[in-house]
Structure 1
Amino acid sequence: MRVESARLVPVEASVAYAWVADPRTHPRWIPLTRFDGGMRSGPEVGDEFTMVSGPRVRRGARGLADRMVVEELTRPSTAAGRVGRTRLRKLGPVLLGDAGFDVVPVDAGRCRVVWWEEAYLAGPVPRAVTDPAVGLFLRALMGVSLARLNRRLARGAR
């Protein structure tokens, strides 16, 4: 099941792409999330990293680990009309599947950020049972997160 959310943001596509392609920036706009390492620079195709989500994870509390590997990085180009894309493969232990961001240039000062996930719970419960709940959670998280990203970019955050 694919879940996606999109937002028109008031910056050039390369700026938005820098924010969504680099998981080290994600805790600045995705709530209840921390970057738990795995890359020192980059990102580069092949990099593995872990994000941890849950209440108080930013204060060191335990949370849900989401291990991922970068499988695709394509920089956007407003001049060429090229969509930027980052695609990740989820490695578990809780979530499996694919996720990513598409950054669609609109003009010199705007682009559309699309966050998509084809993720599912690993484990003994069938996907037919868990997919509806996972979808609801992801849609809510994506909507809140993209609104936060939009506010941050609109203020000129780099």
Structure 2
Amino acid sequence: MTPAPGARRPRRVEVARVVPVEASVAFAWVADLRTHPRWIVATRLEGSAARGPEVGDRCTMASGPGARRDPRSALGRLVVTDRMVVEQVERPSTAAARVGRTRLRKLGPVLLGDAGFDVVPMDAGRSRVVWWEEAYLAGPLPRAVTDPLVALALGAFMRVSLSRLSRRLAGRGR
């Protein structure tokens, strides 16, 4: 997302992890939003996605301590709703040493900006997943105040989630 002239560029938060699977498998897990609730901490997909990622697909994720609870309960209301649209999908190739990329635009109401995953082929049994976010709170507080807090929360959330993904993928062969 290109910021408006004079606007401050969102702070980039990036977390990477080597996972024990070939790049096409890792890409299938990080690009397909239907798999996210299986490895991203305290997250649910609202609605349904009929297929894997295609440019133009829209989705809503709910994340937070109450994301997996009944939304009518007090804890169930403690979630951040994240509406997104897929803007780029490039599948990886280990044979061609081609990096896989997916990029999403965050549409609010809480977070705006861009996010994505890059999957770097390493060899037939490993790849490097890079999860990046250039997200910021939609308001009403100034970004100079909220950006450091958003970056801290996103970084922790992303590290824990990528660790869960790596463990899940390591267990696939068992």
TM-score by length of 1: 0.96
Contact 2:33 / 2:52 at 8 angstroms: preserved in 1? no
- SS of the equivalent of 1:59 reads coil
Shift of 1:64: 1.3
Shift of 1:42: 2.3
Query: How far apart, in 2, do the equivalents of 1:52 and 1:117 lie?
Result: 16
> What are the equivalent positions in structure 2 for 1:76-91 lying under 5 Å apart?
76-91=92-107
2:51 alignment partner, one of 25, 41, 45: 41
Query: How far apart, in 1, do the equivalents of 2:125 and 2:49 lie?
Result: 30
Query: How far apart, in 1, do the equivalents of 2:52 and 2:32 lie?
Result: 7
Give the gaps of 5 or more residues in structure 2.
Answer: 1-10, 71-75
Contact 2:34 / 2:52 at 8 angstroms: preserved in 1? no
- SS of the equivalent of 1:99 reads strand
Contact 2:104 / 2:115 at 8 angstroms: preserved in 1? yes
From the CA coordinates, give the structure whose radius of gyration is larger. 2
Counterpart position of 1:142: 158
> What are the equivalent positions in structure 2 for 1:37-116 lying under 5 Å apart?
37=47, 39-60=49-70, 61-62=76-77, 63-116=79-132
Shift of 1:107: 0.6
Shift of 1:38: 5.1
Contact 1:38 / 1:47 at 8 angstroms: preserved in 2? no
Q: CA RMSD in A?
A: 1.1
Query: How far apart, in 1, do the equivalents of 2:131 and 2:69 lie?
Result: 26
Give the gaps of 5 or more residues in structure 1.
Answer: none
TM-score by length of 2: 0.87
Percent identity between matched residues is 74
1:127 alignment partner, one of 143, 163, 166: 143
Shift of 1:126: 1.2
Query: How far apart, in 1, do the equivalents of 2:38 and 2:140 lie?
Result: 33
- SS of the equivalent of 1:57 reads coil
State how many pairs are aligned: 157
- SS of the equivalent of 1:155 reads helix
Query: How far apart, in 2, do the equivalents of 1:97 and 1:52 lie?
Result: 16
The runs of 4+ residues in structure 1 deviating greater than 3 Å are none
- For structure 1, which segment, 40-49 or 101-110, has the greater mean C-alpha deviation from structure 2 after superposition? 40-49
Deviations 1:86-138 (A, max 9, x none): 10000000000000000000011100000000000001211111000000001
Task: Read off the aligned partner of 1:59 and give its amino acid letter.
Answer: R
